[in-house]
Amino acid sequence: MEVLQGNIVNIFEDSIFWGELILNEGRIFTIKNLGDEKAEEPYFLPGFVDAHVHIESSMLTPASFGRIALCHGTVGSVSDPHEIANVLGITGVNYMIDNASQTPFKVTFGAPSCVPATTFETAGAVIDSEGIEKLLRNPKIGYLAEMMNYPGVIYEDEEVIKKLEIARRMGKPIDGHAPGLRGEGAEKYFSNGITTDHECFTEAEALEKLKLGVKILIREGSAAKNFEALIPLAKEWSHQMMFCSDDKHPDELLKGHINALVSKAIKAGIPLFEALRIASMNPVKHYGLDIGLLQEGDPADFIQVTDLKNFKVTATWINGEKVAEFGKSLLPEPKNSILNNFKAGDVMATDLKIISENPDTKINVIKVNEGQLVTDSFQVIPLSEGREIIADTEQDILKLVVHNRYSEAKPAVAFIHGFGLKTGAIASSVAHDSHNVIAVGTDDNSIADAINLVVREKGGIAAVAAEEMGVIPLPVAGLMSDKNAETIASDYEQIDKFTKTELGSVLAAPFMSLSFMALLVIPQLKLSDLGLFDGGKFEFKSLLEIQKN
């Protein structure tokens, strides 16, 4: 047995007292109340849960991700492996499960419901309803992951409905994904047993869904940040809310995780115990997670913090074992094997040319919104050299390219506003959800060079400016590194800084933002390897608009 003394936070009774935790065989054997809280002493409280995260977006394997998350008091996550599933199918999902088993970090994986995410792009795999049933029978798979094909739900696509029926029959929670969906459409979508949404961008949208009984996730990732818009709702609806990161880059993960959201929530006026339940009890209860909540008989999954304002985590326990202390992992480095699906060839600058015979032609331009996954669009008469339409750095209208990674094909080209590059290009094989190679740049030669750096590594992120260039290889499915978190975070910080200082990007997270410019299931205008796509109308859109007299 092990005995620990400190201030014990009981989120069931909204109480704090000085006491003892007695641990035995990985569980909380006894909790003793020894008197009043001692404010100068450390606090024990339930560990935190990231209620929706794509671990692959951290560029870390599950075991490497878990080692760092534990340092911030996150003891488990609800993780949708649809990034690797779109590349490698069920083989990729099994890789995530096997890799995660190297760490005590408690990951509950979902069965990816939309592989491929749409039929308007090229992916590396298909998981049909039979595959979903097979996955949901795996005890490591706890839920049906986000149903992004909301038109398929509303219009009753046969295969989509089969997947939902299988999950309901097996008693598995079903995650939602319905950005901007309101009214009758939302009612029909959520009436199919879908119980969560992490894609609300406004308070009004989230409130409408809360009233339908939907659990709303407050997301604060590296690209999408909805905390400020949604946190006011937690004052009345905390029982239906959870915290998540969705997608988080490694440099930010090293600085903090769900603990930072708890601190922000309290500073925003959310009562302490409500914030703690949002971060722990709510996801544990909703998903039926095998994660303790600091009650007698629970698994001994808990954390120690110095105070209840900043939530600086000084130690983390999983199943009674101390796994992190003073910001450092106590776990061994994991062994990360490599698997991939990458068949793309090099591109030539000439492959990227856009020609228009009509001098009055306008182009449809994607407009990036900082901190959001939704884009806007506008039309403009482009800059041209003869018949060739080129990037216009003065107006911040750059070329966006998506290159098929699964077979030889001509790249798709569009134009985008908001990245702010003044020279060069960046490219990445992380491009939600099919993970073809995506690039943005100021000229065709730089774009081709950046894409080819990624191609030659069979996955990675790259930046090119004049004679300088850099690349971070991502050999695991073209999504993740086999290196440890500290190494990949340092490499990422360098290439991120290079992109901002040498290329001129004005975005907070240019690579993360770039990765979502091919995500067709989030409006408005995006680019797949097959062409420009209107995510609102769910149909392709012409790049060129010929002006009629």
- The 10s digit of each residue's pLDDT in 360-384 is 899 999 999 987 888 999 999 999 9
Per-residue pLDDT at 548: 65
The residues that bridge with 390 in the sheet, in sequence order, are: 383
- The 10s digit of each residue's pLDDT in 535-545 is 888 899 999 99
Q: Model confidence at 164, in pLDDT bands (50, 70, 90)?
A: very high
- The 10s digit of each residue's pLDDT in 323-333 is 999 999 999 99
Please check the confidence at residue 549 and state whether its pLDDT lies above 60: no
- Please compute, for residue 295, the number of CA atoms within 13 A of its CA located in the half-sphere on the CB side: 11
Per-residue pLDDT at 359: 84
Contact at 8 Å (CB) between 397 and 543? no
Please check the confidence at residue 208 and state whether its pLDDT lies above 90: yes
Per-residue HEC secondary structure of 110-131 comes to EECCCECCCCCCCCCCCECHHH
Per-residue pLDDT at 222: 80
Please check the confidence at residue 358 and state whether its pLDDT lies above 90: no
Closest listed residue to residue 462, CA positions, set 225, 453, 496, 96: 453
Please check the confidence at residue 223 and state whether its pLDDT lies above 80: no
Residue of 509 and 440 predicted with greater confidence: 440
Question: How many C-beta neighbours within 10 Å does residue 34 have?
Answer: 11
Please check the confidence at residue 521 and state whether its pLDDT lies above 90: no
Question: Would you state the structure tokens that stand for residue 133, as one six-digit string?
Answer: 């049933």
CATH code of the domain made up of 48-290: 3.20.20.140
- The 10s digit of each residue's pLDDT in 88-123 is 999 999 999 999 999 999 999 999 999 998 899 999
Please list, in sequence order, all residues whose beta carbon lies within 8 angstroms of the beta carbon of residue 171, skipping any fewer than 6 positions away: none
Start-end of CATH 3.20.20.140 domains in the chain: 48-290
> Residue 109 corresponds to which amino acid?
F
- The 10s digit of each residue's pLDDT in 398-437 is 999 999 999 999 999 999 999 999 999 999 999 999 999 9
Rounded to an integer, the average pLDDT of 455-471 is 95
* Cα-only R_g, the chain: 24
Residue that has been written with the tokens 């699906």 in this structure: 341
